[in-house]
Structure 1
């Protein structure tokens, strides 16, 4: 059966931790027990709950900032006692077209992402990474009112001068009232001119003695939108930088950004989300942003006579963390409606023998170019079924180019009958162009 790339417009697998997912509902991030900063506290506390530490023989030592209660919080008529933190997880297929969320769609996710990126300060750089770490809003998990899920989130690593960190923004729709002020969940509450209620918090958490700082702002907007932005000083996979790259005031601007609210319109011409892609090897050496820029620039002119839903100039690391670069686009040329996937990996072995004939469903071939690159081609025919049980006949052409230095380029075109995939001539042009640009 031919390999079929799932449409991100239909499904996406996501894991959400409740301690993070709860941000969208104004619950917590970075710790329940937090002592409000002195300048944000209007009355001296009478009881101090010390910083909490949790550890087991198999987990790191985790310490959170302490909370003071009873206390007063600016903007709050009363303050509830801190309650126990809840943990949980949600795993499953999220959808951009879930009828349970009529306000949300793939195009809405792209419009929200565009608005979010545009509102960041000009000196803040979104670090190069996969779409899942580039402020693209994800499909929604769960049903409305469920304990877990029900929100869409976008995340990225950020850099501002010598300050590195991360940003996570969630959006959901809710008809629940603004939650009560609870000690440890906010440092200040404001009501802004458009009627939104804003909760602000600065806190920290230590794991094995390494402290991570965070700023969190949640907006409860008049149309029922709940938008939360969490910024930390810890880029993914790196040590904390000691300074959060976004201030609380900048996060207020983020959560009030036009285009992020549930009811904000989708601008004309907004595209569907990019299709998911995967590097077609188990592992590859990392290809950095400079290499991606070279390849993307070269590929802009490699599709002569072929139209696509978006330019083939956004190769990125895949969300699977397997190294290399990839991109998948929709071919819209009449009679050739299909998907086109490009994968680039480093450090791969050069094939030493031609592929052996297999079942009748594919016909392999191989040759070596004058420059020593090995080019393998195959065609596959198969029947596929989607999640609704609908079947389709698919025709796939794949070309794999392995250069002498170990650079491997996989180019695949898949079409449903009666459309035809792109020709091997087109696939080879893309592979040769990519190979030359990587070096």
Structure 2
């Protein structure tokens, strides 16, 4: 079944926990009451944060409110989230791409963004649409916590490793008053930008998680919230989850939060494409996660193959070699690219993975295979090519590398013939190992 050609995102049926602090600041990732410590019984998990002093003076604040316990509630969003949300006209797919590029460019030169799929590569996702605003606590509306796009990724700086999360939203409210426990310092810049910063920690069962946060209120009506920690949330509890050093300083985090390209009013360069769509066939692949260098080499080989075999008058929205780790595991890569020509618009899908066995020819006398339209060919190098009339070509090489390329959302062969797909899939340079 074909899928709509509109921008999509692969997050579905996701439960969201939101903490609203009484002064109106959304503290993403710090879902706790300052100074809280929970030890219900001998078998319970423990959780603790720093004690909050009050009264206290905070640099940059004329007055400081008493600490607030805030309020926690749960809501959810489900279904495919679209970048084209009419409730937020300032945001779009190309805007998300431009913001992601600006965020990555704002990282210090000595900090590396760990290679991962789109959801973990500081790529801004769609603004969620929540299901049940009628179930929100009294006095709370979706506007109090919704309307933001978020990005996350793992940063590495020598021995320091940790997760960076950034959310951006339009802000048309007064800047919240300073409150004890929610910031260590408030800085006001000549252009009117205000940035609140916090350097804190939280302990889970005695394991201390170091956290730094910066909330920027920009003069064009943008709020940027950025937080970084020394935690790798992908590591199971009990593993080497905390590096002990946060990979960004407070000053660097503040600079990121006020990067011009993150502002809701920042212009998007003409021709900026929408973000890559999460992809993957789910056919399975085994082996170690592929390195950035390997993926770049495979992408270059695909681009060379497309240039050599692309039909006249057919254009791609982005490079066919724009490979990314699959949704189904980092040992395989994929790309989903919109293709346009005189016959219409479709999608080219590419999957490359390792650890595959050479397929065995089906028994032509078995009645179960009577309707099998797959054509099978063994190449001189031992690779097995399988293709059908639905514009799907799968090439499995003796090394275990498998390349699958298909055309969907358009009549088979109307934009790119199966012969051309096979020429691309069997092109040199598409082995996972040299």
User: What band does the TM-score fall into relative to the shorter chain?
Assistant: 0.7 to 0.9
Cα gap change, 1:11 to 1:24, in 2 (>3 Å): farther
Give 1:301 deviation, angstroms. 0.4
2:122 is aligned with 1:135 = yes
SS in 2 for 1:94: coil
- Work out which of the residue numbers 57, 67, 70 in structure 2 matches 1:81: 67
Unpaired segments of 5 or more residues in structure 1? Answer: 35-48, 381-396
Residues 165 and 231 of structure 1 are in contact (CA less than 8 Å); yes or no, is this contact kept in structure 2? yes
Residue aligning to 1:205:
202
TM-score, normalisation: structure 1: 0.82
Cα gap change, 1:282 to 1:415, in 2 (>3 Å): same
- Work out which of the residue numbers 293, 316, 336 in structure 1 matches 2:296: 293
Residues 225 and 262 of structure 1 are in contact (CA less than 8 Å); yes or no, is this contact kept in structure 2? yes
Residues 204 and 211 of structure 1 are in contact (CA less than 8 Å); yes or no, is this contact kept in structure 2? yes
SS in 2 for 1:107: helix
- Work out which of the residue numbers 395, 418, 433 in structure 2 matches 1:401: 395
SS in 1 for 2:389: strand
Which whole-Å CA distance do the structure 1 matches of 2:359 and 2:274 have between them? 38
- Work out which of the residue numbers 329, 341, 347 in structure 2 matches 1:339: 347
Give 1:321 deviation, angstroms. 3.8
Which whole-Å CA distance do the structure 2 matches of 1:156 and 1:342 have between them? 24
Residue aligning to 1:96:
83
Residue aligning to 2:358:
350
Which whole-Å CA distance do the structure 1 matches of 2:159 and 2:214 have between them? 23
- 1:270-285 equivalent positions in 2, closer than 5 A: 270-285=272-287
Which whole-Å CA distance do the structure 2 matches of 1:64 and 1:355 have between them? 65
Residue aligning to 1:64:
49
Cα gap change, 1:408 to 1:254, in 2 (>3 Å): same
2:37 is aligned with 1:27 = no
SS in 2 for 1:337: strand
Residues 182 and 198 of structure 2 are in contact (CA less than 8 Å); yes or no, is this contact kept in structure 1? yes
The more displaced of 62-71 and 199-208 is 62-71
Which whole-Å CA distance do the structure 1 matches of 2:403 and 2:100 have between them? 30
Cα gap change, 1:82 to 1:301, in 2 (>3 Å): same
Cα root mean square deviation, aligned: 3.1
Cα gap change, 1:56 to 1:327, in 2 (>3 Å): farther
Residue aligning to 2:243:
241
TM-score, normalisation: structure 2: 0.83
Residue aligning to 2:378:
368
Residue aligning to 1:113:
100
Equivalenced residue count is 406
Give 1:259 deviation, angstroms. 1.8
Which whole-Å CA distance do the structure 1 matches of 2:202 and 2:341 have between them? 53
Which whole-Å CA distance do the structure 1 matches of 2:261 and 2:418 have between them? 42
Cα gap change, 1:110 to 1:264, in 2 (>3 Å): same
